[in-house]
Amino acid sequence: MIHRGEDVIIRTISRMLIPFIQIYALYVIMHGHYSPGGGFQGGVIFGASFVLLLLTHGYHDARSRVSEKTMIVFSSMGVLIYAGIGFLCLVLLGNFLDYSMLAGILHVDPAHARSLGILGVEIGVGFAVMAVMVSIFLDISTGGVLPGEEEDVGEPPVKEA
Amino acid sequence: MEVTLLVQAADESFAILEKARVRAVDLMNTAAKLTSETRWMEEKKVRAIFRGAQETRAGLQNFVVTFVILFFFWALLSGKYDTFHLSLGVICCGIVASFGHDLLFHNVRAGDMRVIAGRFFLYVPWLFYQVVLSNFHVARLVLSPRLPIDPKLIRYKTKLESDTSMVTLANSITLTPGTITIAIENGEFVVHALSRKVADDLNAGDMEDKVAHIFMEADHIYIQDVLDVARIFAALK
């Protein structure tokens, strides 16, 4: 269970830094096919921004922004984007993830289609990594029981001496 | 005998009158209370409507300003200014700004932001000047053979109200050589000061006044408003 941080300086500064961390993460994802970086690295940075939010503001304040359910949906969606692009190439009579086959759909030359295909795959990987990072963090820090669901589980049985 | 009866009757009638009077006063009080309660509720409702409008405006303004700042940051990082990458930047900035427009600017009233930004940019050179001054002071302390330092922890009660202003003051204190903010505990700063002079400078509260002026807190709201109004009137004349 993560509690709200006590230090007002750390809380305020991290609150102001989080949008910049996120835009940096998206930059790393979107420029992954030109420069170092890519889906995995960008996804980890994006997930780290959520972890920072949870660490400094606590689960109760941050739950409206980061919920376990959304993260599960995002992780599945990321895998779906990745596999969808792969199988689309397979359907278009190429190999799995053979992006040049996408040229017919996107109406561009094969080299450009490869670039766009890699970008799409990077976005999928980024989604999945970000969501899985955050949900692993939530699982570890809450012991698998989210604060909103404590009532269903009930008090742990008291051991008799 | 008859006189006694008469007096008793008069007493009883007075008692009844008194009771009636108390009852009437009670009733009137209740009525007044009810009216004031309903009026208070009405006022509260109106105020809530106003605040709702204010919040929507502030939310929109925060979104736009956050978007612009993030887009500058994106352009700085990206370095590719073709249509494709700029449109990617617009989408990404939109996503991040819609997620975190109340993270970057928290509790900023609509219309205040321009004033705060302007005053902040005027504050930075002043802070830099203070840093240079205390830099010389600390250098003299360190270089003198007697080492005349007098380190101590001081507790410093602040008049600032919001998190942002307190953090600005705390970081300004830490940036200034010779003083370090250790913690903020319920609006009380715990500061380590290297010598008596820097501690006295801190207690004089110049820096706090400036920060309160930036964020329009404490009494600076009124003073600045009065000054502005006076200037406007002078200009009109």
Instruction: Encode pLDDT of B45-64 as tens digits.
Output: 777 776 676 677 778 888 88
CA-wise closest residue to A43 among A88, A89, A77, A87: A77
Q: Could you tell me which residues are beta bridge partners of residue B183?
A: B190
Closest approach of A89 to chain B, Cα-based (Å): 23
Give the start-to-end residue ranges of the domains of chain B. Answer: 1-108, 112-236
Mutate to test the interface with A, among B67, B167, B211 (most CBs of A within 10 A): B167
Q: How far is CA B190 from the centre of its chain?
A: 20
pLDDT of residue B186: 83
Cα–Cα distance for residue pair B138/B149, rounded to 1 Å? 9
- Residues B166-175: tens digit of each pLDDT: 999 999 999 9
Asked if A13 lies within 8 A of B167 by C-beta distance, the reply is: yes
Of B66, B88, B163, the CB nearest to A12: B163
β-sheet bridge partners, residue B190: B155, B183
pLDDT at residue number A151: 53
Nearest CA in chain B to A119: B88
Q: Which residues of A touch B88 (CB under 8 A)?
A: 30
B92 contacts in A (CB within 8 Å)? 23, 26-27, 30
Q: Is the dihedral of CA A132, A137, A140, A141 positive or negative?
A: negative
Reported as half-sphere exposure (CB side, CA atoms, 13 A), residue B202 has a value of 31
* Of the listed ranges A6-15, B16-25, B34-43, B121-130, the one predicted with least confidence: B34-43
Shortest distance between the Cα of B30 and any Cα of chain A, in A, equals: 42
A16 contacts B96? CB cut-off 8 A? no
For chain B, the residue count is: 237
Place A153 in a pLDDT band, splitting at 50, 70 and 90. Answer: very low
Closest CA to A45 of B130, B107, A36: A36
B98 sits in which H/E element: helix B83-104
pLDDT, residue B219, reads: 63
pLDDT by residue (tens digit) across B103-117?
888 777 666 788 888
Kindly tell me if the per-residue pLDDT of A16 is higher than 60.
Answer: yes
Q: What angle do CA B73, B79, B81 make, to 5 degrees?
A: 100
CB contact under 8 A, B77 and A8: no
- With cut-offs at 50, 70 and 90, classify the pLDDT of residue B74: very high
Kindly give the residue spans of alpha helices, DSSP state H, lying in A31-153.
39-62, 68-91, 103-106, 110-142, 150-153
Which residues in chain B are contacts of A20 at CB distance < 8 A? 70, 73
Q: Where are the domains of chain A?
A: 8-144
Percentage of the residues of chain A whose pLDDT score is greater than 90: 39
Mutate to test the interface with B, among A15, A34, A71 (most CBs of B within 10 A): A15
Please name the residue of chain B whose CA is at the shortest distance from the CA of residue A13: B167
Whether residue A27 is predicted with pLDDT greater than 90 in this model: the reply is yes
Q: What global pTM score does this model have? A: 0.76
Answer with the residue of higher pLDDT: A106 or B32: A106
Q: What are phi and psi of A37, to 5 degrees?
A: 120, -160
